[in-house]
């Protein structure tokens, strides 16, 4: 099964000139979603994770079923102010400004092997920030994964510079 057959391209979203790769069509197709999660599980298990960390919010859709399938814990990396209780945060630069990503304090034991996941890798800014946040709390980030990689953008290179191996199910060159 070709996973790309179940990913819809939406032109001019969220703004003119952008082609948005929409996984909702993949999620809506039970056989394709099952195949996608099976393939992701086979790739992610190679990183020997204790815990999977999902990036808000579409990353949660990938991470939760994989954590269940692999018998791993699941933690959420969220935007500032979205998690209850005490949090640890990491501020990072965007193309035009800054943002913050947080994790709940004590969500991951120091030294845990963590794989970070999202639906799509583009410039890699948020995923790199997630890696840095996880390292800040003492996690060992053993890998990263997405359903989609926009190979024409620098996301994979940013992860390579952080010495984080990356896997994906579908890569787009334009």
The catalytic residues are 58, 95
At 63, list the tokens.
């991470």
168, β-bridge pairs: 146
Taking the C-alpha atoms of residue 150 and residue 148, their distance in angstroms, rounded to an integer, is 7
Q: Determine contact, residues 107/83, Cβ cutoff 8 Å.
A: no
Cα-based angle 4, 6, 11 (whole degrees, multiple of 5): 80
Angle at which helices 30-44 and 58-70 cross, to 10°:
70
Taking the C-alpha atoms of residue 102 and residue 76, their distance in angstroms, rounded to an integer, is 8
């Amino acid at each position: 099964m070709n996973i790309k057959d179940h990913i819809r391209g939406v032109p001019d979203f969220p703004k003119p000139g952008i082609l948005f790769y929409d996984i909702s069509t993949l999620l809506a197709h039970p056989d394709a979603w099952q195949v996608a999660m099976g393939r992701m599980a086979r790739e992610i298990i190679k990183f020997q994770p204790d815990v999977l960390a999902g990036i808000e919010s579409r990353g949660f859709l990938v991470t939760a079923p994989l954590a269940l399938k692999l018998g791993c814990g699941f933690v959420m990396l969220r935007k500032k102010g979205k998690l209850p209780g005490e949090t640890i945060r990491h501020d990072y630069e965007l193309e035009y400004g800054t943002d913050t990503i947080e994790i709940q304090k004590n969500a991951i034991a120091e030294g845990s092997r963590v794989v970070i996941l999202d639906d799509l890798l583009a410039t890699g800014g948020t995923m790199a920030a997630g890696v840095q946040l996880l390292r800040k709390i003492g996690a060992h980030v053993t890998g990263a994964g997405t359903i989609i990689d926009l190979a024409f953008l620098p996301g994979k290179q940013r992860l390579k510079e952080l010495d984080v191996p990356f896997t994906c199910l579908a890569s787009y060159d334009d």
